[in-house]
Amino acid sequence: MRLLATQSHVVHGYVGNKAATFPLQCLGWDVDCCNSVQFSNHTGYGLDKVRGNATTESQLDNTLQGVIQNFPHDYDALLSGYLPHAESIRLMGCHYAEYKRQNPHALWLLDPVMGDEGELYVSESVVPEYKRLIFGPDVGIDIITPNQFELELLHGSPVTTLSELNDVLHGMHRFIPIIVVSSLDTRLFNDPNNIFIAASQAGKPPVILRVPLIDSYFTGIGDIFSALLIDRIYKQRDELNLVSCVNDTLNVVQDVLKVTRDHSPRGVTMGSTLMKESELKIIECRDLYEGPGEEQGLQFKYKVLY
């Protein structure tokens, strides 16, 4: 199993490719990382503490072009996460779509990383670029994993009720077969103590999953989530049970968060000097990535949207 992943690289800590690669390798994947940036650390340390540069558009284009040209059929899966500019998203999209045309059986997961909780952390020009990829003809994306804010950006307006959510997902399935909304707005459920996730497969009613909130400052969760999810979906691709894939992924993510919380100082906030002690314990969790599998059942399954 070989996967091509295009997202950020931080020298220190675990977000982007650093959060995705090791868990996937532990699960047996050869992970080929194309880095969209090389930064010293993630932005949670404070914006003034991030050193390094984004990979320029021509560098990214040139690197991906060499990869696809030299290994035209090597990849079983394609993953993309944070890309800094509209142009780098467009280039990744072109190369991945070309690969997908030549290899229709490869699985492509796109995480449209744009922001969270009402705050955009990329330039506004990124939004239409993701829309072009996701709603474009013959692009070949199989899975997207937006959070609620990103889903709303893609949809173009807020999603305030579960029935609206159902309609939005239904509409998007005309373009994308699998949509997993990694964190829904808790106001939809009037419950701040849990996190709600939507797992939606074209032609089936969306399912809401619920996991207890682990209250601490974590960065990189979305990246490990999408990495574990593509592993689960790939391994079940012939007979997919999406809810079981998401449930299993959530189990592992919860375990990683618990280990991280139990070994991090309390009271860490954005820009805190304690941040370097609060990185996800990706290495320490080496033996947890396989997950509990079937034995746990679907303990996070909460509600089906009809």
Partner 1 sequence: MVFNRDAMTRISTRKVLSIQSHVVHGYVGNKAATFPLQYQGWDVDALNTVQFSNHPGYGHFTGFRYDAGHLCEILEQGLAKSLEIQYDAVLMGYLPGVESLRKIGEAVGEMSARDPDLKWVLDPVLGDNGKLYVSGENVDAYKQILRHNKIHLVTPNQFEMETLTGVKIQDLESLKSSIEQFQKLYPRVNKIVVTSLELKNGYICACCDGGKIQYASVPRINAHFSGTGDLFSALLLNALVPPAGQTPPTLAQALLLVISLVDLILRRTLELSLSKDDVLPVTINDLKLIQCRDLLVGKHQNKELDAQIRLVDLN
Q: How far is the CB of 86 from partner 1 (least distance, A)?
A: 21
Binding mask 209-248 for partner 1 (x = CB under 8 A): ----------------------------------------
* 101 is an interface residue for partner 1 by CB under 8 A: no
* 271 is an interface residue for partner 1 by CB under 8 A: no
Q: How far is the CB of 40 from partner 1 (least distance, A)?
A: 3
| C-alpha to C-alpha distance for 17 and 230, rounded to whole angstroms | 14
223: closest CA among 129, 288, 148, 145? 145
Q: How far is the CB of 298 from partner 1 (least distance, A)?
A: 21
Rounded to 5°, the CA angle 296-254-27 comes to 75
Region label for 115, one of left (φ > 0), alpha (ψ between -120 and 50) or beta (otherwise): left
Place of tokens 């979305």: 222
Binding residue for partner 1, selected from 4, 91, 133, 178, defined by CB under 8 A? 4
Determine the interface stretch with partner 1 among 118-126, 174-182, 235-243, 278-286 (rule: CB under 8 A). Answer: 278-286
Of 205 and 271, nearer to partner 1 (C-beta) is: 271
Instruction: Render 53-105 in DSSP notation, one character per residue.
Output: EEPPHHHHHHHHHHHHHH-TT--SEEEE---SSHHHHHHHHHHHHHHHHH-TT
Of 32 and 98, nearer to partner 1 (C-beta) is: 32
* 198 is an interface residue for partner 1 by CB under 8 A: no
Of 198 and 282, nearer to partner 1 (C-beta) is: 282
Of 204 and 263, nearer to partner 1 (C-beta) is: 263
Q: Which residues pair with 304 in a beta bridge?
A: 207
| C-alpha to C-alpha distance for 261 and 280, rounded to whole angstroms | 9
Of 53 and 125, nearer to partner 1 (C-beta) is: 53
300: closest CA among 216, 217, 180? 180
Count of CB atoms situated within 10 Å of the CB of 254: 16
| C-alpha to C-alpha distance for 147 and 162, rounded to whole angstroms | 15
Determine the interface stretch with partner 1 among 47-55, 80-88, 189-197, 234-242 (rule: CB under 8 A). Answer: 47-55
The binding site for partner 1 (CB under 8 A) comprises: 4, 9, 11-12, 18, 22, 25-26, 28-30, 32-35, 38-41, 45, 49-53, 55, 59, 62-67, 69-71, 74, 259, 263, 276, 281, 283-288
